[in-house]
């Protein structure tokens, strides 16, 4: 049974929500969370083409904004979201970063609007709009849609030439990451991505494909490349960015609700009541808006950091806040960004083989966990259309308006779910 009163204290926790650790202990515990989120948070900007320093800064800033909005009642860390990678990659190629920034801002606004609606009429409509039969295949599209870029980066040099050396580095990185994932436990077992990147980087250096000169040339202190919407570039409305990114926000919202559910059980509280689902979604939305205003990708709560909470039984928001501050500081260290940018493509590919596959597999897990019956024609049709539309790259375009990829697949799934009857005539 969960509790929501201020007097409640979780006796199973080493440090409960509002407990403040001693300074040295505080630093060490916050550093753990920083290491845990680091690999995934910097991987997103590398894949999209954004300054990693900005991603670290926006991650820390977003986490602090989330804590302020929720009254520092929820121990969550927000890092770069993988769900938006395909859309951001497409927008970077077609419109450039201003479109990505505007799309990221739009996702935050969607969260804010949904939070206001939930506060007014409740959240049952979300489950009706996005049931597991829609969310599962859409999440699969996110992972499978990225598979091609992972394979290309593993094979091709920056000039587009086929390289056996690149393939070797990618496969060794993949193998080492699998070993870290399978055979390490405890806190270190939560860092397979970070360890994979570090070890893969070492392998790439042995193969002679790392250029370290930019690291030598980089300043220790450097302002990240801020990209502020409507300030750093010509004011313009990117309709395609809005229609591409906005629908994805509804998918990541279900991930948000899932993480809050896990935190309820872990901390023995009910965050759906206090501070309330509308407030948690509002916090996430404002975090995304704040991230977009410094040029960062959309952020989302990280399951990896929830894993750290479970293992250490340290649930203190001060520790998560400390990790956020450390991330912001790292964003201003030029050599850190230079090191991240020097990571070769095949190292990122080796990690991506697992990460993108895990994303796709998590979509499949949603279907299995919810016992979706694929003998029912309705379910088979919805999943099939979402997968083919999303992975196939179907596009609707009219003037500045554009809807494609995962956004279009999500829309198809929502419409089919709402209009198709529970049973076909042949099943009655």
Using the predicted structure, report yes or no on whether residue 165 has a pLDDT greater than 90.
Answer: yes
Cβ burial, residue 3 (10 Å; 0-12/13-18/19+): middle
Instruction: Determine what percent of the chain is predicted with pLDDT higher than 70.
Output: 95
Please tell me the predicted confidence (pLDDT) of residue 401.
66
pTM of the model: 0.81
State the pLDDT at residue 7: 62
Strands (E), 359-428: 395-398, 401-404
pLDDT band at 5 (very low <50, low <70, confident <90, very high): very low
Taking the C-alpha atoms of residue 52 and residue 88, their distance in angstroms, rounded to an integer, is 15
Tens-place pLDDT, residues 74-115:
999 999 988 888 889 888 888 888 888 889 999 999 999 999
Secondary structure in 3-state letters for 241-283: HHHHHHHHHHHHHHHHHHHHHHHHHHHCECCHHHHHHHHHHHH
Buried b (16+ CB within 10 A) or exposed e, 244-269: bbbbbbbbbbbbbbebbeebbebbbb
Q: What would the pLDDT profile of 221-238 be if each residue is shown by its tens digit?
A: 888 877 776 676 677 788
Q: Is 300 left (phi over 0), alpha (psi -120 to 50) or beta?
A: beta
Mind listing the pLDDT tens digit for each residue in 281-318?
Answer: 999 999 999 999 888 899 998 877 888 888 778 899 99
Q: Which pLDDT does position 226 carry in this prediction?
A: 78
What is the model's pLDDT at position 75? 94
pLDDT at 323 over 60: yes
pLDDT in tens, 172-229: 999 999 998 899 887 677 678 888 889 999 999 999 999 889 888 888 988 887 777 6
The H-or-E segment that residue 79 falls in is strand 78-80
* Sequence-separated (6 or more) residues with CB below 8 Å from residue 391: 141, 144, 145
């Amino acid at each position: 049974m969960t509790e929501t009163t201020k007097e409640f204290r979780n006796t199973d926790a080493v440090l409960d929500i509002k407990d403040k650790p001693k300074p040295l202990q505080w630093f060490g515990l916050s550093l753990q969370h920083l290491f845990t989120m680091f690999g995934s948070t910097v991987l997103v900007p590398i894949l999209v083409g954004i300054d990693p320093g900005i991603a670290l800064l926006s991650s820390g800033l977003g986490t602090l904004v989330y804590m302020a909005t929720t009254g520092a009642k929820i121990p969550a860390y927000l890092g770069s979201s993988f769900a938006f990678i395909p859309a951001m990659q497409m927008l970077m190629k077609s419109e450039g970063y201003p479109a990505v920034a505007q799309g990221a801002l739009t996702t935050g606004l969607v969260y804010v609007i949904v939070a206001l609606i939930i506060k007014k009429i409740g959240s049952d409509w979300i489950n009706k709009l996005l049931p597991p039969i829609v969310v599962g295949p859409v999440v699969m599209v996110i992972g499978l849609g990225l598979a091609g870029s992972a394979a290309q980066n593993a094979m091709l040099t920056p000039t587009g030439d086929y390289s056996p050396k690149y393939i070797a580095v990618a496969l060794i990185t993949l193998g080492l990451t699998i070993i870290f994932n399978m055979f390490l436990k405890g806190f270190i077992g939560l860092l397979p991505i970070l360890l994979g990147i570090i070890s893969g980087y070492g392998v790439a250096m042995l193969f002679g494909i790392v250029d370290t000169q930019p690291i030598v040339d980089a300043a220790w202190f450097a302002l990240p490349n801020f990209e502020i919407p409507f300030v750093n570039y010509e004011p313009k409305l990117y309709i395609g960015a809005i229609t591409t990114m906005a629908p994805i926000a509804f998918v990541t919202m279900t991930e948000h609700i899932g993480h809050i559910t896990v935190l309820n059980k872990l901390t023995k509280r009910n965050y759906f009541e206090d501070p309330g689902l509308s407030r948690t979604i509002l916090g996430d939305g404002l975090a995304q808006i704040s991230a977009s205003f410094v040029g960062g990708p959309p952020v989302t709560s990280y399951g990896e950091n929830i894993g750290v909470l479970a293992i250490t039984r340290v649930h203190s928001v001060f520790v998560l806040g400390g990790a956020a501050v450390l991330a912001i500081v790292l964003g201003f260290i030029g050599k850190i960004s230079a090191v991240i940018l020097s990571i070769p493509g095949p190292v990122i590919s080796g990690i991506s083989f697992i990460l993108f596959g895990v994303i796709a597999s998590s979509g499949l897990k949603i279907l299995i966990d919810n016992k979706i019956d694929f003998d029912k024609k309705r379910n088979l049709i919805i999943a099939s259309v979402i997968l083919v539309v999303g992975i196939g790259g179907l596009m609707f375009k009219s003037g500045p308006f554009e809807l494609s990829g995962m956004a279009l697949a999500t829309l198809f799934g929502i419409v089919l779910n709402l209009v198709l009857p529970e049973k076909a005539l042949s099943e009655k």
